[in-house]
Structure 1
Amino acid sequence: MAAKLMLRRSFWYWDRQHEGTDGEPAQSRVGVVVALGWMLSRRKNLAPYTRLYKSRGWDCLVCHPHVFNLVFPSGATTLAINVLEELAKDLRKHPSPVVFAVFSGGHKACLYKIIQILLGRCSDMDIEMGKFAEVKQSLSGLIFDSSPVDAVSHLGAKFVSHQVLTLRPGRPIAIVSWVAYAVSRGVDVVFSRQLGQERIDLWEALYSTVHIGPVLFFCSENDKLAPIETIQIFASNLRNLGGEVEMVAWKESEHVGHYRKYTEQYHDKVVKLLSAAAENYSKKKCHDLKEKSGTALPTGNSVKMSSSISSSWTDLSEPIICEISRLARLPHIHTKKGSNTDQCTEHGGARRHVDVHMFTQSTDPSKAGYSVGIRSML
């Protein structure tokens, strides 16, 4: 079975709440969630998530990336173009907000190439500017589950051995772990310059989503594949750039196993984000219509809009672009793990405080997490 999945190509499919004639979406749909699964994920693995999204009126475009997309950017580019073409075709007929739900290595296997293409920065292929304008205008939020991770060799070895070469994440085979670590180290040495540039490209693309809309992170302290420190650094930097960020963490939870263990909390946070993304999309559409008609926008408290609504999320200011370029070149891994209740981290010259707010004192394990709010003191 493992060998069969390893040879399987990237594939995608629609999972709609209610399909009309010819597989068309229902008129009542709220939006589209693009679920980017982890390597070797199967339909049944993502079914609980798609049921959650569909229960809120969102159709799902589900993508299962090929294992080698993690190593070869051309594979990630091919999948990204296919996803964008499928989305664009759907959105031309039925405009609606789009949220990307990224699991584990999905950011490396597809998402960052999608962002590069929409920004016009993809060097892999010559893509006509404006080809996917419908998608760019519809992006309204992001969900990261056990993601993102930094692209470095020792984490890559863990990632491959635990997730790619085994059918169940978190249960490695000893010999596979050893081989994966050796191969990862060898690849890192041979392609060190290329991988270094890919790493910068990856983080630049992810940081460039700062004005897409609300961003939600799910992670845990004992996740060795997606270290909480890396996610904290990224979330903190994204917040400092002006992003709308929320991070939910638990002390103990398996990689991509948070929804299974903390169903109620996970459900509530996803529902909140989808609602915020839909509202964000509606405000942007209203703003665009008023701009086209030349109608003056209301002032005061009657309309509250973030800077991301007043212009396209791709229209980043020069200072933000420069800061993104700087942050993308910094390591996203702590050598030491500090206290989670009062963590202060030095990164890129900025002193950041991470506030941890307990949800509840209940002994019920489904309610034993905490939510992390991030503020910056520069």
Structure 2
Amino acid sequence: MAEDEIDYNIVFPDAGTTERHWQGTKEPVVILLGWAGCKDKHLSKYSAIYNEQGCVIIRYTAPLKTLFISEPIGYKELRGMALKLLEILYDYEVENSPIFFHVFSNGGFMLYRYIIELLHSDKQFSSLSVLGAVVDSAPGSRDIPGALRAMTSVLGPRVSPLLRFLLLAVFAVVIFLLRIVLYPLTKFIHKNHYDAVQDRPPVWPHFFIYSKADQVVRHSDIELFMETLKLKDVPVDNFNFVSSPHVGHFRDFPEQYALKCRDFLVACVKDLQGTEMKRRHRVQDQ
């Protein structure tokens, strides 16, 4: 793979499934943004939810070094990845289809933050139509214990105890300095994902899936974030699975999870169609 490319997967539905669900209208393109350390085999289980609905699926997970090193120190490597992801829509000529995001944990949300910024500011993407976004187990604010638990999970059992301790110690010091001690100053140069999206949120609807049992991202962070979006007139809905672990809601409640995602997608499509119908009526009345 060329150095300037990203390692993504795209899946197209069969024509019969698309026609059955969307009946001549453009099928949605669902972009799944994986959590830190997520493998494509994990994301593919989620993509099946939407593939069965006749959607085009794009799956991508940002590299660990970008999430845990580049982003915390303010090197915006994720912005370039966000740009390439949006350009894929043009490469496969699906830029006129409605776009839908499914975002996992802070790892996916960090990348989503830059996608939002590009959709706000880059004229190249001004014609893209975003339906909405499902946000699973995110976003979390400056929670060092949660970040360390996420890092521990990513390192896994293969890493020796000594190396794991050293990596976690260095990571904790960096996060504490940049995101706690120095953040009142560094935020003017580089805001974290939580504050950046709160300050300038997208206008499309969001559905937050979370749990009070989450040990990586505090449910209070997600609930505060939702309230902030509501105050800025962003349509927000949510579901608290209560007992499932971080990004474990689909595993513990597969049928309920899939149904809620599909229902939200269909509702977003209906809202978009209603908006377009009103726009056509306004034009005809002029």
Cross-structure match for 2:115: 114
| Alpha-carbon distance in structure 2 between the residues aligned to 1:218 and 1:195 | 30
Cross-structure match for 2:70: 72
After alignment, is 241-250 or 53-62 more displaced? 241-250
| Alpha-carbon distance in structure 2 between the residues aligned to 1:248 and 1:140 | 19
Cross-structure match for 1:165: 155
| Alpha-carbon distance in structure 1 between the residues aligned to 2:54 and 2:157 | 31
Structure 1: which amino acid aligns with 2:33? L
Q: Give the gaps of 5 or more residues in structure 2.
A: 17-21
Cross-structure match for 1:47: 44
1:35 aligns to 2:32 (yes or no): yes
- 1:217-239 Cα distance to aligned partner (Å, 9 max, x none): 11112211111111111112222
Matches within 5 A, 1:243-258: 243-258=234-249
Structure having the higher Rg = 1
Contact 1:222 1:254 in 2 (8 A): yes
Cross-structure match for 2:166: 179
Offset of residue 182 of structure 1: 1.5
TM-score, scaled to structure 2: 0.81
Contact 2:13 2:55 in 1 (8 A): yes
Matches within 5 A, 1:316-327: none
Cross-structure match for 2:197: 205
Contact 1:10 1:66 in 2 (8 A): no
3-state DSSP of counterpart to 1:223: coil
Cross-structure match for 1:150: 141
Contact 1:68 1:75 in 2 (8 A): no
Contact 1:10 1:64 in 2 (8 A): no
Cross-structure match for 2:125: 132
User: What is the number of equivalent residue pairs in this alignment?
Assistant: 266
Q: 1 or 2, which has the higher strand percentage?
A: 1
| Alpha-carbon distance in structure 1 between the residues aligned to 2:45 and 2:232 | 33
Cross-structure match for 1:63: 60
3-state DSSP of counterpart to 2:8: strand
Where relative contact order (Cα < 8 A, 6+ residues apart) is larger, the structure is: 2
- 1:31-75 Cα distance to aligned partner (Å, 9 max, x none): 011000112211211111111111112111111111122242422
- 1:286-310 Cα distance to aligned partner (Å, 9 max, x none): 344445x3535xxxxxxxxxxxxxx
1:188 aligns to 2:169 (yes or no): no
1:295 aligns to 2:282 (yes or no): no
Contact 1:40 1:167 in 2 (8 A): no
Q: 1 or 2, which has the higher helix percentage?
A: 2
| Alpha-carbon distance in structure 2 between the residues aligned to 1:19 and 1:173 | 49
| Alpha-carbon distance in structure 2 between the residues aligned to 1:224 and 1:30 | 36
Q: How has the CA–CA distance of structure 1 residues 75 and 295 changed in structure 2, closer, same or farther, with 3 Å as cutoff? A: same
Structure 2: which amino acid aligns with 1:188? I
Q: How has the CA–CA distance of structure 1 residues 201 and 220 changed in structure 2, closer, same or farther, with 3 Å as cutoff? A: closer
| Alpha-carbon distance in structure 2 between the residues aligned to 1:294 and 1:280 | 20
Structure 2: which amino acid aligns with 1:43? D
- 1:190-216 Cα distance to aligned partner (Å, 9 max, x none): 543475443456423255335212x11
Contact 2:34 2:104 in 1 (8 A): yes
1:105 aligns to 2:106 (yes or no): yes
- 1:142-184 Cα distance to aligned partner (Å, 9 max, x none): 101111111444432222122x32289xxx9865663344122
Cross-structure match for 1:340: none
3-state DSSP of counterpart to 1:11: coil
Structure 2: which amino acid aligns with 1:99? F
| Alpha-carbon distance in structure 1 between the residues aligned to 2:157 and 2:35 | 11
- 1:73-105 Cα distance to aligned partner (Å, 9 max, x none): 422111101011112444x55622211100112
Cross-structure match for 1:269: 260
Contact 1:14 1:61 in 2 (8 A): yes
Contact 2:204 2:235 in 1 (8 A): no
| Alpha-carbon distance in structure 1 between the residues aligned to 2:232 and 2:95 | 32
3-state DSSP of counterpart to 2:127: helix
| Alpha-carbon distance in structure 2 between the residues aligned to 1:207 and 1:141 | 18
Q: Give the gaps of 5 or more residues in structure 1.
A: 1-8, 21-25, 121-128, 297-378
Percent identical: 21
Cross-structure match for 2:87: 85
- 1:100-119 Cα distance to aligned partner (Å, 9 max, x none): 10011234441101111222
Contact 1:88 1:134 in 2 (8 A): no
